Structure 1
Amino acid sequence: MKVTVLGAGVTGITSAWFLSQAGHDVTVIDRQSGAGLETSFANGGQISVSHAEPWANPGAPLKVLKWLMHEDAPLLFRLRPDLKQWLWGLAFLRECTPTRTRHNIKQMVNLGLYSRATLQKLRADTGLNYDHKTRGILHFYTSEREYADAQGPAAVMREYGCELDMKTPDECVAIEPALAASRSKIVGGSMTPSDESGDAHAFTRELAALCAAQGVKFMYDTRIVGVQKQGDAISSVQVANAAGVVSQVSADSYVMCLGSYSAQWADLLGQTLRIYPAKGYSVTLPVINEAASYNVSLTDDEYKLVFSRLGNRLRIAGTAELGGYNTDLNLARCEAIVRRTRALFPDMTDGQNAQYWTGLRPATPSNVPYIGASKTRNLFLNTGHGTLGWTHSCGSGAAIADIVSGRVPDVDFAFTGQLPARKISVSVRPATQSA
């Protein structure tokens, strides 16, 4: 069938790839000039199944109150006269119970494990290279209380299959010697040896090229300006190219991968997606002192920062700012990332030649994404991944391709909408090498 994918970020491109592999005629539409140029462009770089504890957890409400009005807070609510923000916040509070937290951890671990395995097979089949490292992720703590609070969620993650081992401060330094300068600050850590890291933008760009070689059509520099419905289905999408010329794109099915903007388009179709933009920041630094630079991907729990090594670049990303759709770069938050980096790794960087970036991440109150069917008969959802879009992209893409094709995905996840009653084997299909 003809399938149109709305959005060419990492989830849109993985959706297009697996749909194409399933035999569909796929077209991708995006307003940017190429793939992965918005939220996927300069994220933290981690494939982190271990980041399965949602923002909404029993300890979150007090932390959010403490962080209000702190410009460099890890999670900052900029309260606005915005009904959608307040409704999102109320839904967030409802997800902070122990029962909901446990349920959401299960969803994210299951999807994360499936997605990581799917990525690994895709890489083996295609030879994709995106500065990836397979040395695991070390999560370190500089607060005794935070380390103690992490034991419960870690036990739940292990129960659901996440390989996660608690580490002493000395073991943390043995895993990543660059942490030696901060040994006195570290109170413990956890290691997920099977987690990975890599450049999400490079991955998205390269996979888009493979998609094109397999016949996927791309409409870049093309804005979606309207949606036409016939009964309970979409009949066409109205688009405008860079010259402003308006045309119609028709398909049998549509897959929404529009990130933070998905909720706005869902509204036009009479549906509510509880997605709100969480502005994230990253800093990319050149390697100037190899001996003092990290090679293992790291997570700093206290400041909610992630560190990834991308070839000769150091990527540090984190923080979440919920204040609407403003994409202006807040220099204070970027400089706070650099300060913390220099405090942890005093000999690694002088902070010069830093490249700052910000992007909107599509956050749900639970941190669990929308994947599956929607209330519109031929519209499918693959959106709302928050900070884990890169981690969950391959699993989400494979799953949505199965759902569009009438198959049940081979992962225990609470998909939206109605799934087919009969289960068919859906092992990840071998990819065809591009010419």
Structure 2
Amino acid sequence: MKIIVLGSGVIGTASAYYLAQAGHEVSVLDRQPGAGLETSFANAGEVSPGYAAPWAGPGVPLKAIKWLLMRHSPLVLRPGLDPAMWRWMWQMLANCSSRRYEINKGRMLRLAEYSRDCLRELRATTGIRYDERMQGTLQLFRNQQQLDSAAPDIAILQRYQVAYQLLDGAACVAAEPALARVREKFVGGLRLPGDETGDCYKFTRRLAELAQGLGARFEYDVTIQHMVADDGQISGVQTEDQVRKADAYVLALGSYSPLLLRPLGIRLPVYPVKGYSITIPVLDAAGAPESTVMDETFKVAITRLGDRIRVGGTAELAGYDLRLRQARRDTLEHSVSELFPQGGDLSRGEFWCGLRPMTPDGTPVLGPTPYRNLYLNTGHGTLGWTMACGSGRVLADLVSGRRPEIDLDGLFMDRYGRHDGPSASPPALGKDARVG
């Protein structure tokens, strides 16, 4: 089949790679001059299936009030007249129960663990390199209350047989030796040894090259205006100069996906949540992290990427505003300075922000839509890098009529109810279906 993929971030590029690998004729359209130049460009660098969890959970509304009052707040709310924001926040609050949290976390873990396995297979078969490390994630607790609050997450990790280690302060230092210099600042941690790290931008660019080697075409500097619908299906994509046609279409535009779906009668609850990062050169390797340290107090991830340190965090609800705000940089610098004071050169930090495409339940949206040849691969929030390979492979299986290797319950858009677009059933599985 001829397939057009909209978006060349890590999700769209992974979709293109697996579709091309399945033998399809793939074209990728993106408004940027290259792959991975928006949300995939400078994220926190974590491939963290063990840390896959929805932001909506029991106790979060009260925590949110506390966070908003903090000087270095992990949450920033800039309320406006955007009804989509308020609708999304209301739906998120509806997911802040123990039951919904367990359901949503289970869905996310299922896809994230599968995606990590797909990444490992891809790495083994292609030799792709991207400043990768396989040394786990350490969630660092500064006080006993944070340590005690980890119990519900640990119970879910046990249920899904995800490897973990609950560490005291000395064991945290053994995992991350540089923390010995600030031993008084934390009481313990939760280590997820199966997690990995790597530069998402480097990965995306290299994967785009591999996809091109399989025949995929990447067309950059293309403005996508809207999709053209006809008789229950998509008949083309209108760009600034022409209507581009294919047999099937994959929407992987992250936070911008709902804007193209709305004229089609589909209201998808994906909303942009802005995150920030700084990237600083390593000054003292012995004073820098070995992998990723997650500062639980400020919700900041500090990741080693080769000879650089990536510091990422903040959830800012401000619509599609991409302005860089100094207060957010101050929070990132505060966290890394407290935990790795000699590790990197803050004076040479590169400041960046990107829009995470968040769903109110934390789970991405994959697969079919009411339009029989339109597929979604969006809504991954902070876990696009973590879930990219698995999501791309699942998407390619669905488009190809093959049975995916994991259970897809709760990952389709139908969990959000009916839409105004034409009704259509998910595609039938072909005779070559694989049993998951």
Q: Secondary structure at the match of 1:73?
A: coil
Shift of the alpha carbon at 1:150? Answer: 1.1
Cα distance in 2 between the residues matched to 1:350 and 1:262? 37
Aligned partner of 1:361 among 351, 356, 374: 356
Contact 2:53/2:109, CA 8 A, preserved across alignment:
no
After superposition, what is the alpha-carbon deviation per residue over 1:284-335, rounded to whole angstroms, capped at 9, x for unaligned?
Answer: 0101112211112211111111121111111110111011100011111012
After superposition, what is the alpha-carbon deviation per residue over 1:55-111, rounded to whole angstroms, capped at 9, x for unaligned?
Answer: 100011011122336574112222111110110011000110100000011011111
Question: Match of 1:366, as an amino acid?
Answer: D
How do 1:2-13 residues align onto structure 2 when only pairs under 5 Å count?
A: 2-13=2-13
Aligned equivalent of 1:433? none
Matched, 1:424 2:420: no
Aligned partner of 2:294 among 294, 299, 302: 299
Contact 1:138/1:299, CA 8 A, preserved across alignment:
yes
Contact 2:273/2:357, CA 8 A, preserved across alignment:
yes
Aligned equivalent of 1:258? 253
Shift of the alpha carbon at 1:350? Answer: 4.5
Change (3 A) 1:110 1:37: same
TM norm structure 2: 0.94
After superposition, what is the alpha-carbon deviation per residue over 1:368-389, rounded to whole angstroms, capped at 9, x for unaligned?
Answer: 0001111111110000000000
Cα distance in 2 between the residues matched to 1:426 and 1:280? 38
Shift of the alpha carbon at 1:269? Answer: 1.0
Cα distance in 2 between the residues matched to 1:71 and 1:202? 34
Moved more, 284-293 or 195-204: 284-293
Aligned equivalent of 1:288? 283
Contact 1:105/1:157, CA 8 A, preserved across alignment:
no
Aligned equivalent of 1:100? 100
Matched, 1:338 2:333: yes
Matched, 1:383 2:378: yes
Change (3 A) 1:415 1:336: closer
How do 1:186-335 residues align onto structure 2 when only pairs under 5 Å count?
A: 186-240=186-240, 246-335=241-330
Cα distance in 2 between the residues matched to 1:107 and 1:92? 16
Cα distance in 2 between the residues matched to 1:344 and 1:71? 18
Matched, 1:114 2:114: yes
Cα distance in 2 between the residues matched to 1:4 and 1:378? 11
Shift of the alpha carbon at 1:53? Answer: 2.5
Contact 1:373/1:380, CA 8 A, preserved across alignment:
yes
Aligned equivalent of 1:35? 35
Q: Secondary structure at the match of 2:411?
A: coil
Contact 1:408/1:419, CA 8 A, preserved across alignment:
no
Question: Match of 2:176, as an amino acid?
Answer: E
Matched, 1:394 2:403: no
Contact 1:64/1:76, CA 8 A, preserved across alignment:
no
Question: Match of 2:434, as an amino acid?
Answer: S
Contact 1:142/1:302, CA 8 A, preserved across alignment:
yes
Aligned length: 422
Change (3 A) 1:361 1:54: same
Cα distance in 2 between the residues matched to 1:57 and 1:391? 20
Shift of the alpha carbon at 1:421? Answer: 5.9
Cα distance in 2 between the residues matched to 1:21 and 1:279? 33
Aligned equivalent of 1:171? 171
Question: Match of 1:132, as an amino acid?
Answer: E
Question: Match of 2:366, as an amino acid?
Answer: I
Cα distance in 1 between the residues matched to 2:143 and 2:15? 40
Shift of the alpha carbon at 1:344? Answer: 1.3
Question: Match of 1:157, as an amino acid?
Answer: L
Matched, 1:415 2:424: no
Aligned equivalent of 2:51? 51
Cα distance in 2 between the residues matched to 1:252 and 1:187? 56
Shift of the alpha carbon at 1:226? Answer: 2.1
Q: Secondary structure at the match of 1:50?
A: helix
The percent identity for this pair of structures is 44
Shift of the alpha carbon at 1:139? Answer: 1.2
Question: Match of 2:239, as an amino acid?
Answer: V
Question: Match of 2:34, as an amino acid?
Answer: G
Cα distance in 2 between the residues matched to 1:303 and 1:426? 43
Aligned equivalent of 1:130? 130
Contact 1:403/1:409, CA 8 A, preserved across alignment:
yes
Question: Match of 2:364, as an amino acid?
Answer: P
After superposition, what is the alpha-carbon deviation per residue over 1:192-248, rounded to whole angstroms, capped at 9, x for unaligned?
Answer: 1111000000000001011112110111000101221111111000112xxxxx111
Aligned equivalent of 2:423? none
Question: Match of 1:53, as an amino acid?
Answer: A
How do 1:76-87 residues align onto structure 2 when only pairs under 5 Å count?
A: 76-87=76-87
Contact 1:74/1:304, CA 8 A, preserved across alignment:
yes
Cα distance in 2 between the residues matched to 1:389 and 1:289? 30
Question: Match of 1:261, as an amino acid?
Answer: Y
Question: Match of 1:379, as an amino acid?
Answer: L
Matched, 1:90 2:90: yes
